[in-house]
């Protein structure tokens, strides 16, 4: 699994021109699921995201997690995080999980993230064409891959 996490002051998702979900202060998580991903990847990433200390404490140091600041989390499915651009100019998405595997993992990821973080977690709609708006705070943008665990 790969994620791109952005610390935001607000974020929203629209589907077919209508507001679908929104959050205030918190994390916007773009999630890409690979065909080799398992529940272990979900466990590791949801734990890391819940405890990721990217919010300022009273001294202005990034020392607090989304849990600590009682923030919100939005998860957006994004298979393009597994794009391979090694050959040619048209990205290949062969490593991205097919919907029959990805949808249950996406739903499990959202449930587990809500459980682990104790925060309100909302999402977009898997497979839908979505318009995402966000105000990146910092800016802070972090990428993680459960296969590298850096």
Percent of the chain residues topping a pLDDT of 90: 87
pLDDT digits (tens, 9 = 90+) for 70-127: 999 999 999 989 888 888 888 888 889 999 999 999 999 999 999 999 999 999 999 9
Is-catalytic flag, 78? yes
Closest to 123 measured CA to CA, from 46, 42, 13 = 13
Whole-number average pLDDT of the chain = 95
Tokens of 47: 């734990």
Torsional sign, CA 25, 137, 53, 148: positive
Catalytic: which of 9, 36, 80, 133?
Answer: 80
Is-catalytic flag, 126? no
Is-catalytic flag, 80? yes
Name all domains of the chain by residue range, CATH numbers in brackets. 2-145 (3.50.80.10)
Residues paired with residue 132 on neighbouring β-strands, in sequence order: 13
């Amino acid at each position: 699994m790969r994620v791109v996490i952005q610390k935001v002051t607000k974020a929203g998702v629209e589907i077919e021109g209508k507001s679908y979900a929104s959050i205030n202060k918190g994390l916007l998580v773009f999630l890409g699921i690979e065909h080799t991903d398992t529940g272990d990847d979900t466990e590791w990433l949801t734990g890391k995201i819940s405890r990721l200390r990217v919010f300022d404490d009273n001294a202005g140091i990034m020392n607090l997690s989304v849990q600590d600041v009682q923030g919100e989390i939005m998860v957006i499915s994004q298979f393009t995080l597994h794009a391979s651009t090694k050959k040619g100019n048209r990205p290949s998405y062969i490593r991205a999980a097919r919907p029959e595997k990805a949808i249950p993992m996406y739903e499990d990821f959202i449930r587990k993230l809500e459980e682990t973080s104790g925060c309100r977690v909302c999402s977009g709609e898997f497979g839908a064409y979505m318009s995402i708006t966000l105000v990146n705070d910092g800016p802070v943008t972090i990428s993680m891959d459960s296969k590298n665990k850096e």
